Structure 1
Amino acid sequence: MYPAVLLFVIRDSINAGKPLIAAMVHHSGSIQSFKQQKGMHTSISEILKEKSPKPSRRSLPCLAQSQTHPLNLNHFLSVPLSSEPKPEAEGLSQSVSTSCSLLPPHTAEEGNDQYVEESEVTTCETKADESIPLKKPSTRVKLQARNDSVQGKKSAGSSGLFFRDGKKRVDYILVYKKSSPQVEKRCTFEKNLRAEGLMLEKEPSLTNNDIMFVKVQAPWDTLCKYAEQMNIRMPFRKKSYFTDWKSKTLGSRFHLRCRQIKSWLPRNPMKLDKEALPDLEDTDCYTAPFSRARMHHFTINSREAFFSNSTRSRIIHHVLQRTKYEDGKSKMGINRLLGNNTYEAAFPPHEGGYKSRHPIKTHGAQNHRHLLYERWARWGMWYKYQPLDLIRRYFGEKIGLYFAWLGWYTGMLIPAALVGVFVFLYGLFTMDSSQVSKEICEANNTIMCPMCEDTCEPWTLSDSCVYAKVTHLFDNGGTVFFAIFMAIWATVFLEFWKRRRAELTYDWDLIDWEEEEEELRPQFEAKYSRVERVNPISGKPEPFQPFSDKLSRLMVSVSGIFFMISLVLTAVFAVVVFRLIAMEKFASFNWYFVKKNWQFATSGTGVCINFMIIMSLNVVYEKVAYLLTNLEHPRTESEWENSFSLKMFLFQFVNLNSSTFYIAFFLGRFAGRPGKYNKLFNRWRLEECHPSGCLIDLCLQMGVIMFFKQIWNNFMELGYPLLQNWWSRRKMKKGGGGGPNVENKAQLPQWDKDWNLQPMNAHGLVDEYLEMVLQFGFTTIFVAAFPLAPLLALLNNIIEIRLDAYKFVTQWRRPMPARATDIGIWHGILEGIGVLAVITNAFVIAITSDYIPRFVYAFKYGPCVDKGHHHKNECLRGYMNSSLSVFEMRDPNNSNLSIYCRYRDYRAPPWSSVPYEFTLQFWHVLAARLAFIIVFEHLVYGIKSFIAYLIPDMPKGLCDRMRREKYLMQETMYESELTHLQKERKKKGRRYHHEWP
């Protein structure tokens, strides 16, 4: 027998005749004590296992759902035994709300009575009644321990996670300056928030006397009301997967043998230990849209734990977005108040510090933020898989989906990087044996025509030996194979990501979210509230934007886009002019090293100037894109984000790749020939390609821009917030802003710590996705010219994942947890880049590289034409002499003499009957290039389509699980409704059967 104490609490029942409420407190050896020791929630309904007078349906079951922290019996022991009715204390009345019964939400008057500005909240914590005898001393120890837990919760409240009463957890923080003149708007807004059912409490800042924090908390009834309005899906039953193949073979000998063999194998070092992460049980429950009328269907073990922190923050953000601060249709929303400086910031608070004095292995994690830092954001975890479920639970599904995509993209880069390194090593090992490089390095007597008009002199072909060998590293036989491989890789990456996304959306309960949750933007509602149309989906009237208004705004936006793109092309033209001027200057430079390597110097300086222009214009593009997007007045947040993302991508893609397209497809194509050069503005001669080709210029352009852009982005993402936060801490230590000097940062409440952090980017994840999508374009579009691009992208992304994780956990305020079903418009952009990559790589191989001219020479003009066998080096003997034409020029030392110089082209010699006309070899090469483009595109597109057809977008096992879930949801609802009706009939004394009435 477990010792127990039976405590009877009599409330106003002597004269009123109310029933007695009995509660039994078991010893620590009982099941309830075991649950409390393990941190599990207990309820009075579980304690009342013994036979006792049955309470009413509106009392203990509702109280059982309301307890999150260990139950404090002093609440019951301190009630006076008076026959006169007295009002209940505020804390008790809120903790024992009728969660199971359908009561109306708090009214505005109740909210005002409970929380007034700068007022302390009266709690029901009173001293225990010493007159009630306790039969066992252990029970008194138990009560004292529970009192200590409540006191500990109060101390936690002082750290910035709770209201002053130490019970109500802070769900959202509003920040404003006392010196702000927008007092009336703020007071009206906060009054309306209380009318909506939110609880507010103000707290001054400890670091700045001008800063005031408004703590916001949503009580149970308010959460239920808006959860039903927002169609939030909540858990109601544990999932069962016995239809899965793992469950079918769970007890088979083969499965047991496989598990035994798996236990012998070494553990995957990339996986996180199971004990390192908590068991997130809420992800393994079936869910349904929340309804107060069917509340008994849902699994409500605790009122405070039923709605997660991210869900509570999302509900409060929904209320903040739709609360008015003045009379008028457009005078609503926290965004407008942030814009007119009524409030300085609005954010959900972090769950505490991210560091601890004690190691996490021995003492465990203090909170989810600490756990995320130790198991995800630390640089030492760079080789580990990401805890996606924990990321989603803390930051929301939208950010979790971003990190899932980033991790998937990084993992898929590993095979691409390995193949790219093999292609590069193949060029490195065959560099000395290349026939083309040998002929260039041994051509000591081959005189080349001057590369510029006045200051340049003839030079020998052997001077470009190093240039030719470096070109062979990237222009070799493996280039075509690697281009085909990367086109197939892009398709496989996107198809398998669709499958991975389907699994995540199912696990995170996002399958039907878009249709249920898509809401109108407050700006759209305010702008077009006069004209309403019935939504064909919901059947409800909503604001409508006329087609003429939408078309006119779209035309203005498109005009702005074309103007910015023309500005980019103007910048590229300026870079081209700079290269022409720099070419003449470096070719006539006094320093011999620069004069000898004038082509490298021209390309290098041109790339650096182009990089600075790119980074400068990006700042302008972001502001223009934001202005044009707001001008369009998108209907929903997803439409706004997609429109803004598309504009940013178009601007930055053109800005980043326009110079690359010029070098790949236009450099050296329109330069003319000696004696008839084409000149820009009749002043500067157009730039020519090197005798070994223009591919090395394209490779240099891609390598420099990709390397420096990634370094700059990483600095701006982490270095800039670090500097800003350091400056904030420095001001805080000096008592900046007129506030007190807080020496110990740990003494600050959490809202003060979060206020000193930097806010998340105003555009959300657009910049994060944009950076990776542009990198994906660089990795695939011109990969034939730079096979090391996947390797650079892989190394950058390994750093990027931990850098973003560190930034989200430690340097940024906690963003509002948002939901998303996919990566939005970025998936379509990635598919478009994959299609464009096939075309560009086909043109790079056919036009920019010398692969096709070498191929035509080997099989049409080389020494192997009449032989049965074809050896690569032997068949290319004499290729350089065949690819260089002859020009007759005056001797620079003696104008009366003529000399012959060579230049890169397929033209007839001066002694021909048709001098300087294109030869037959030129037309053969041109035809082969066009044929290669057509064959390459059709072949690769066919392979891509076939692979996309073979790989379904959703795994078969997932389809079965979804179908079973729908079946079980219906069965569960039927069973729950039947049980509810049976209880109602039994309560009324009616007969009932185990079938539907």
Structure 2
Amino acid sequence: MLEKEPSLTNTDIMFVKIHAPWDTLCKYAEQMNIRMPFRKKSYFTDWKSKAMGSRFHLRCRQIKSWLPRNPMKLDKEALPDLEETDCYTAPFSRARMHHFTINNRHTFFSNSTRSRIVHHVLQRTKYEDGKSKMGINRLLGNGTYEAAFPPHEGGYKSRHPIKTHGAQNHRHLLYERWARWGMWYKYQPLDLIRRYFGEKIGLYFAWLGWYTGMLIPAALVGLLVFLYGFLTMDTSQVSKEICEANTTIMCPMCEENCNPWKLSDSCVYAKVTHLFDNGGTVFFAIFMAIWATVFLEFWKRRRAELTYDWDLIDWEEEEENLRPQFEAKYSRVERVNPISGKPEPFQPFTDKLSRLMVSVSGIFFMISLVLTAVFAVVVFRLIAMEKFASFDWEFVKKNWQFATSGTGVCINFMIIMSLNVVYEKVAYLLTNLEHPRTESEWENSFALKMFLFQFVNLNSSTFYIAFFLGRFAGRPGKYNKLFNRWRLEECHPSGCLIDLCLQMGVIMVLKQIWNNFMELGYPLLQNWWSRRKIKQTEREERTRGGQNVENKVQLPQWDKDWNLQPMNAHGLVDEYLEMVLQFGFTTIFVAAFPLAPLLALLNNIIEIRLDAYKFVTQWRRPMPARATDIGIWYGILEGIGVLAVITNAFVIAITSDYIPRFVYAFRYGPCVDKEYHHEKCLQGYMNSSLSVFDMGVRWNVSEEQSRYCRYRDYRASPWSPVPYDFTLQFWHVLAARLAFIIVFEHLVFGIKSFIAYLIPDMPKSLCDRMRREKYLMQEMMYEAELEHLQKERKKNGRRYHHEWP
């Protein structure tokens, strides 16, 4: 049934309200195989005898009497409307309607189920004669309708407290028990979220909550590793040698405006580097690789539990409708659908391949654009290096490396955020160019492109600093130059790890702040502007009509929702993408930045409530949809986990100084063939890692005391038979680095595979429970059918006896 309603805030808008009667709901609920409750579960009688159940119940009561209350859990009294999770369910059938628990026809189908049924009907209804003239999506695409959305159940605020007067509706309950910032430490009411927004959005918040909870141990271990570096900063042998090297003259680190300097000038730099490059680095990298595997494996178990609780175990995705754009493009070519047996438009293989090649070419072009931007940042760093080294301000001149890295990171961040806007439009264009067959295919293709674009955009400069910075700089007297003009940047004597840490920290913090503003601040400003225009329009109308200004017109719910912001056109792609990119930052270079899990945890605590507040108060209610998993994102997370093992192995072996220190301690240090003590065995390490250069050849220095300078490399001295050639220690360090990469990767991948094998995808107790429940359902259905036949027989018998003369 359709009903028209003019808008009270915009005379150009007309609302069409759709009402679904009981018979229509029952008809399509049967067609869609929607599972509905038909009997309460009784767990004690299902699993144990009554005696065992009573003893177990008594024991639970005794334990609960002295256990402290968990402040993170929600009170059961706060969620009074979720009794359906304690019921057995079965696919709805009109022929067996007497089996189901129908206490009230108005509440038997939840609002989200009603919306899903109505949307199912609208997608499959023709509005004109013709094969392609069908579905609400096509009407939205051609501008016949501005929008189509289910209304919220009411306001999310109340004048009366919820504890004394109860919740007005599910939206009010979600706001009070989930979306308020004061509930940040509470568990999420996933059943209520699923009931109000649908299973797809419920699974997103379940995954986000699980990911946030799993970050707690990672953040604690990362914080301990950082504290270990902080507490041992002053006792580190390497830092001591650098701080005490008052007579060690280092070669100039830039070409024109830099002078020789003392190694002791970098004392603070060395101590800060020790915060992130210490003995706990290798342990934490292995821990995070195992953590990523445990997180994904246990998420599969958690997903299995949710799909069971939400009756999604036996649910199969129904055959999706074709996208209107696909139908319009390929309406002339048809083939028989192997599932439905009906003719439908078909995309020829040659056309699909050619479009895919164009799309792939576009992806590579955008990636090359990213690399060009990274190259531009590298050139800026080379120019800034010379400028800061000759700066008039002594503080900047003394800390020109920090200034160069800091400004380079900030400029790189601005380039990243600017290119992200371009990437989204390019990904949208390329995905539409491919003409995906269904909406899910379109969403998966778009999500993959957005991930590739933004992942390369965010991490390309980080990869440069981790694996290329200082590797090709050359040596004094024979430096490599870019365009024969700018000398390539080299690492500090303490290593390049601090540059990598600074890059990750700045980008991670700034990106999270920017994303949080765009997710909440921007919709708040838009909604505030919409409310302001509505109040101005109402004031003008009351003035023209001669009404009292204090009289307020109560807007209907659909009018209020129209003035809210629509959900992103890409669905949950942006929400998942933000968290998956953060997962990459947390795992890929975590060896260089152990505080990354802590920053991610703090951000996600805010992110959950921010998203909840946005969904409940700032956005129109999205169309409920069913899903059994997080889709393509799980495969992307697994790929990031594999990449994290490889990158951390290379960071420890190449970027960090862990391997050179290890080789020195066991091969060249004072502890060779003696009892090993870590700090004592590193005595003389800095002198061993610095080579000698004769500045008199290059700078015409004649004084003996300042003729020679030191630089970071393993090369022969100027007076050796083969000056400046690589020493044996260089080849030992190189061999140790390659051996460490191979051993680390094989060890961690072996542990990951073993853990994945040990952890089943579904808990055994859940498997047994599902089998038991299936058996009980068959028995109960049989008994209910038998009871129904007996009642019908008695009823017919009484009627037959009454009618017999």
Tell me how far apart the structure 2 counterparts of residues 297 and 934 of structure 1 sit (CA, whole Å): 62
- Is the 1:310–1:817 Cα contact (8 Å) retained in structure 2? yes
- Is the 1:284–1:507 Cα contact (8 Å) retained in structure 2? no
Tell me how far apart the structure 2 counterparts of residues 871 and 995 of structure 1 sit (CA, whole Å): 103
- Is the 2:366–2:453 Cα contact (8 Å) retained in structure 1? yes
Tell me how far apart the structure 1 counterparts of residues 142 and 438 of structure 2 sit (CA, whole Å): 22
Q: Which whole-Å deviations, capped at 9, do the CAs of 1:366-423 have from their partners, x for residues lacking one?
A: 0001111111111111111111100111111111111111111111111100001100
- Is the 1:528–1:544 Cα contact (8 Å) retained in structure 2? yes
What residue ranges of structure 2 are gaps of 5+ in the alignment? Answer: 536-540, 696-701
Q: Structure with the greater relative contact order (CA < 8 A, sep ≥ 6): 1 or 2?
A: 2
Q: 1:766 aligns with which of 566, 569, 573?
A: 573
Tell me how far apart the structure 2 counterparts of residues 297 and 790 of structure 1 sit (CA, whole Å): 51
Quickly say closer, same or farther: Cα 1:778–1:871, change in 2 above 3 A. Answer: closer
Per-residue deviation, 1:520 = 4.3
Quickly say closer, same or farther: Cα 1:244–1:237, change in 2 above 3 A. Answer: closer
Quickly say closer, same or farther: Cα 1:592–1:485, change in 2 above 3 A. Answer: same
Quickly say closer, same or farther: Cα 1:991–1:221, change in 2 above 3 A. Answer: closer
Aligned to 2:457: 655
Tell me how far apart the structure 1 counterparts of residues 548 and 720 of structure 2 sit (CA, whole Å): 91
Per-residue deviation, 1:463 = 1.0
Tell me how far apart the structure 1 counterparts of residues 100 and 202 of structure 2 sit (CA, whole Å): 26
Q: Does 1:899 align with 2:707?
A: yes
- Is the 1:368–1:394 Cα contact (8 Å) retained in structure 2? yes
Aligned to 1:125: none
Q: Name the structure where helix makes up a greater proportion of residues.
A: 2
TM-score by length of 1: 0.76
Aligned to 1:911: 719
Judge which range, 595-604 or 564-573, deviates more: 564-573
Tell me how far apart the structure 1 counterparts of residues 618 and 674 of structure 2 sit (CA, whole Å): 69
Judge which range, 448-457 or 361-370, deviates more: 448-457
Per-residue deviation, 1:452 = 1.4
Per-residue deviation, 1:299 = 3.1
Q: Which whole-Å deviations, capped at 9, do the CAs of 1:550-583 have from their partners, x for residues lacking one?
A: 2222222211111111111111111111111111
What residue ranges of structure 1 are gaps of 5+ in the alignment? Answer: 1-198
- Is the 1:565–1:654 Cα contact (8 Å) retained in structure 2? yes
Judge which range, 963-972 or 460-469, deviates more: 963-972
Q: Does 1:250 align with 2:52?
A: yes
Q: Which whole-Å deviations, capped at 9, do the CAs of 1:701-745 have from their partners, x for residues lacking one?
A: 000000000000000000000000111111111999999999777
Quickly say closer, same or farther: Cα 1:537–1:207, change in 2 above 3 A. Answer: closer
Judge which range, 902-911 or 309-318, deviates more: 309-318
Judge which range, 513-522 or 443-452, deviates more: 513-522
Quickly say closer, same or farther: Cα 1:374–1:249, change in 2 above 3 A. Answer: farther
Query: SS of the residue aligned with 1:251?
Result: helix
Per-residue deviation, 1:437 = 0.5
Query: SS of the residue aligned with 1:236?
Result: strand
Quickly say closer, same or farther: Cα 1:521–1:285, change in 2 above 3 A. Answer: farther
- Is the 2:123–2:321 Cα contact (8 Å) retained in structure 1? no
Per-residue deviation, 1:679 = 1.0
Q: Does 1:287 align with 2:89?
A: yes
Q: Does 1:829 align with 2:636?
A: yes
Aligned to 1:237: 39
Judge which range, 672-681 or 315-324, deviates more: 315-324
Per-residue deviation, 1:888 = 0.9
Tell me how far apart the structure 2 counterparts of residues 713 and 671 of structure 1 sit (CA, whole Å): 37
Tell me how far apart the structure 1 counterparts of residues 101 and 649 of structure 2 sit (CA, whole Å): 58
Query: SS of the residue aligned with 1:221?
Result: helix
Judge which range, 570-579 or 549-558, deviates more: 549-558
Tell me how far apart the structure 1 counterparts of residues 802 and 757 of structure 2 sit (CA, whole Å): 50
Tell me how far apart the structure 1 counterparts of residues 612 and 671 of structure 2 sit (CA, whole Å): 59
- Is the 1:382–1:798 Cα contact (8 Å) retained in structure 2? yes
Query: SS of the residue aligned with 1:457?
Result: coil
Whose radius of gyration is greater, 1 or 2?
A: 1
- Is the 2:543–2:549 Cα contact (8 Å) retained in structure 1? no
Judge which range, 638-647 or 483-492, deviates more: 638-647
Per-residue deviation, 1:532 = 4.8
Tell me how far apart the structure 2 counterparts of residues 482 and 736 of structure 1 sit (CA, whole Å): 69
Q: Which whole-Å deviations, capped at 9, do the CAs of 1:921-967 have from their partners, x for residues lacking one?
A: 00000000000011111111111111111111101111112212322
Query: SS of the residue aligned with 2:52?
Result: coil
Q: 1:988 aligns with which of 790, 793, 796?
A: 796
Quickly say closer, same or farther: Cα 1:745–1:921, change in 2 above 3 A. Answer: farther
Tell me how far apart the structure 2 counterparts of residues 549 and 931 of structure 1 sit (CA, whole Å): 48
Per-residue deviation, 1:767 = 0.6
- Is the 1:208–1:737 Cα contact (8 Å) retained in structure 2? no
Per-residue deviation, 1:870 = 3.1
Tell me how far apart the structure 2 counterparts of residues 575 and 760 of structure 1 sit (CA, whole Å): 36
The residue correspondences of 1:331-410 to structure 2 (distance < 5 A) are: 331-410=133-212
Query: SS of the residue aligned with 2:527?
Result: helix
Per-residue deviation, 1:540 = 5.6
Quickly say closer, same or farther: Cα 1:626–1:411, change in 2 above 3 A. Answer: same
Tell me how far apart the structure 1 counterparts of residues 439 and 543 of structure 2 sit (CA, whole Å): 38
Aligned to 2:665: 858
- Is the 2:116–2:625 Cα contact (8 Å) retained in structure 1? yes
Judge which range, 594-603 or 743-752, deviates more: 743-752
Quickly say closer, same or farther: Cα 1:530–1:982, change in 2 above 3 A. Answer: farther
Q: Does 1:602 align with 2:404?
A: yes
Tell me how far apart the structure 1 counterparts of residues 578 and 116 of structure 2 sit (CA, whole Å): 27
Per-residue deviation, 1:475 = 0.2
Quickly say closer, same or farther: Cα 1:735–1:793, change in 2 above 3 A. Answer: farther
- Is the 1:365–1:371 Cα contact (8 Å) retained in structure 2? yes
Q: Which whole-Å deviations, capped at 9, do the CAs of 1:24-71 have from their partners, x for residues lacking one?
A: xxxxxxxxxxxxxxxxxxxxxxxxxxxxxxxxxxxxxxxxxxxxxxxx
Per-residue deviation, 1:530 = 5.0
The residue correspondences of 1:450-849 to structure 2 (distance < 5 A) are: 450-516=252-318, 518-537=320-339, 542-733=344-535, 747-849=554-656
Quickly say closer, same or farther: Cα 1:914–1:818, change in 2 above 3 A. Answer: same
Per-residue deviation, 1:281 = 2.2
- Is the 1:234–1:288 Cα contact (8 Å) retained in structure 2? yes
- Is the 1:208–1:738 Cα contact (8 Å) retained in structure 2? no
Per-residue deviation, 1:302 = 2.6
- Is the 1:244–1:957 Cα contact (8 Å) retained in structure 2? no
Tell me how far apart the structure 2 counterparts of residues 239 and 902 of structure 1 sit (CA, whole Å): 78
Quickly say closer, same or farther: Cα 1:518–1:912, change in 2 above 3 A. Answer: same
Tell me how far apart the structure 2 counterparts of residues 297 and 323 of structure 1 sit (CA, whole Å): 31
Query: SS of the residue aligned with 1:443?
Result: coil
Aligned to 1:313: 115
Per-residue deviation, 1:586 = 0.8
Per-residue deviation, 1:972 = 3.6
- Is the 2:665–2:678 Cα contact (8 Å) retained in structure 1? no
Q: Which whole-Å deviations, capped at 9, do the CAs of 1:720-777 have from their partners, x for residues lacking one?
A: 0000011111111199999999977771111111111111111111111110110010
Tell me how far apart the structure 2 counterparts of residues 742 and 640 of structure 1 sit (CA, whole Å): 50
Tell me how far apart the structure 2 counterparts of residues 279 and 685 of structure 1 sit (CA, whole Å): 69
Per-residue deviation, 1:780 = 0.5
Tell me how far apart the structure 1 counterparts of residues 553 and 91 of structure 2 sit (CA, whole Å): 41
Q: Which whole-Å deviations, capped at 9, do the CAs of 1:126-146 have from their partners, x for residues lacking one?
A: xxxxxxxxxxxxxxxxxxxxx
Quickly say closer, same or farther: Cα 1:745–1:628, change in 2 above 3 A. Answer: farther
Quickly say closer, same or farther: Cα 1:737–1:368, change in 2 above 3 A. Answer: farther
Tell me how far apart the structure 2 counterparts of residues 245 and 976 of structure 1 sit (CA, whole Å): 21
Aligned to 1:172: none
Quickly say closer, same or farther: Cα 1:958–1:362, change in 2 above 3 A. Answer: same
Report the aligned-residue RMSD: 3.2
Quickly say closer, same or farther: Cα 1:709–1:311, change in 2 above 3 A. Answer: same
Query: SS of the residue aligned with 1:993?
Result: helix
- Is the 1:203–1:214 Cα contact (8 Å) retained in structure 2? yes
- Is the 1:207–1:741 Cα contact (8 Å) retained in structure 2? no
Q: Which whole-Å deviations, capped at 9, do the CAs of 1:289-308 have from their partners, x for residues lacking one?
A: 33334434433333222221
Quickly say closer, same or farther: Cα 1:629–1:968, change in 2 above 3 A. Answer: farther
- Is the 1:649–1:770 Cα contact (8 Å) retained in structure 2? yes
Query: SS of the residue aligned with 1:202?
Result: strand
Per-residue deviation, 1:871 = 3.8
Quickly say closer, same or farther: Cα 1:868–1:574, change in 2 above 3 A. Answer: same
- Is the 1:207–1:740 Cα contact (8 Å) retained in structure 2? no
Quickly say closer, same or farther: Cα 1:530–1:221, change in 2 above 3 A. Answer: farther
Q: 2:755 aligns with which of 940, 947, 954?
A: 947
- Is the 2:45–2:53 Cα contact (8 Å) retained in structure 1? no
Tell me how far apart the structure 2 counterparts of residues 639 and 225 of structure 1 sit (CA, whole Å): 29
Quickly say closer, same or farther: Cα 1:452–1:640, change in 2 above 3 A. Answer: same
Query: SS of the residue aligned with 1:492?
Result: helix
